[in-house]
Amino acid sequence: GGVAPNQIVGNGSKSLEVTAPLGAINTTLVAPNSLVYLGDRNLVGPDLLQVSVTDNGNEGQAPILSDAKNASITVTGNTQDTWLNAFFNEADLVDPTKETTVYGDKANPDADDMDNLMEYALGLSPTDKETLSTAVQMSLVEGGSGEKFAAISFVRRKNEAVVQYVPEVSADKQTWTSGAGALVAIGTQNLDDQFEVVTFQDLTPIDPDNPRFIRLRVVKNTLAKRAIDGTEF
């Protein structure tokens, strides 16, 4: 009962035109998720939505154009959006051809062997060459009976919704295991309002015939969405 595809011109562009009966337009506007606002790629900050309405002359000799109605929209973004905007300029962030080399999760513009997603997770800079040891350190922990255990300490964002931090252990660097049955958290050190340092210990001891390996894997949470707040017309 709403607007049909053949009544829409410019869908997905900056200028959308709908020509349809008033009832069909109203049905579409009140339906959940029928009209979705998409900001520019990686946009964080203010934007403006403008709507103009004309009756195409149905009420008189000439079309009547209403005063344009504006809505101020603020795309607050998630913490990764804010981080990207702090390091990269807008011209790069809105250019899809630069995703793989500049701002994308797998991009490594500073050529320091850490991609952008890892640097975001660890609170590092994607534009300054840094070493992994700046934010991740390996160590040995001695058990109560003299056993040695591999441990890893890393910088972690507090209350993070964009990524998951997955410490893993292995006996052969082929099969990796994570979770409560493989490691245990043994320490947390507060750094500031955004970051903390956490330490995880392998639960399997090291001996000459039983080598152990430990690493950190960062996983993107695909459910993390950007938030949009807007004033009503």
CA distances from 4 to 16, 23, 91, 181, 202 (A): 14, 12, 35, 55, 59
Helix (H) or strand (E) holding 120: helix 116-122
Q: What is the DSSP letter of 26?
A: H
Give the pLDDT confidence of 21-79 residue by residue, as tens digits. 989 999 998 998 888 877 777 778 788 888 888 877 776 666 666 667 888 888 777 88
Mean of the per-residue pLDDT values of the chain = 88
- Those residues whose C-beta lies under 8 Å from the C-beta of residue 193, and which sit 6 or more positions away, are 158
Q: What is the pLDDT of residue 137?
A: 96
Long-range pairs, 11-20, Cβ under 8 A, ≥24: 12/38, 19/56
Rounded Cα distance between 87 and 165, Å, is: 23
Rounded Cα distance between 169 and 151, Å, is: 9
Nearest to 109 by CA among 90, 134, 133, 92: 92
Cβ(111)–Cβ(129) below 8 Å: yes
Instruction: State which amino acid sits at residue 37.
Output: Y
Cβ(66)–Cβ(77) below 8 Å: no
Give the pLDDT confidence of 123-158 residue by residue, as tens digits. 999 999 999 999 999 999 998 888 999 999 999 999
Cβ(148)–Cβ(141) below 8 Å: yes
The model's confidence at residue 228, banded by pLDDT at 50, 70 and 90, is very low
- SS3 of residue 91 by DSSP: helix
- SS3 of residue 98 by DSSP: helix
- Those residues whose C-beta lies under 8 Å from the C-beta of residue 9, and which sit 6 or more positions away, are 16, 17, 18, 19
Within a 13 Å sphere around the CA of 213, how many CA atoms are in the beta-carbon half? 9
Which stretches of the chain are assigned E, i.e. beta strand?
A: 8-9, 17-18, 45-51, 69-75, 136-142, 148-157, 163-170, 183-190, 195-202, 213-220, 228-230
Cα of 161 vs its chain's centroid, Å: 8
Give the pLDDT confidence of 31-40 residue by residue, as tens digits. 988 888 777 7
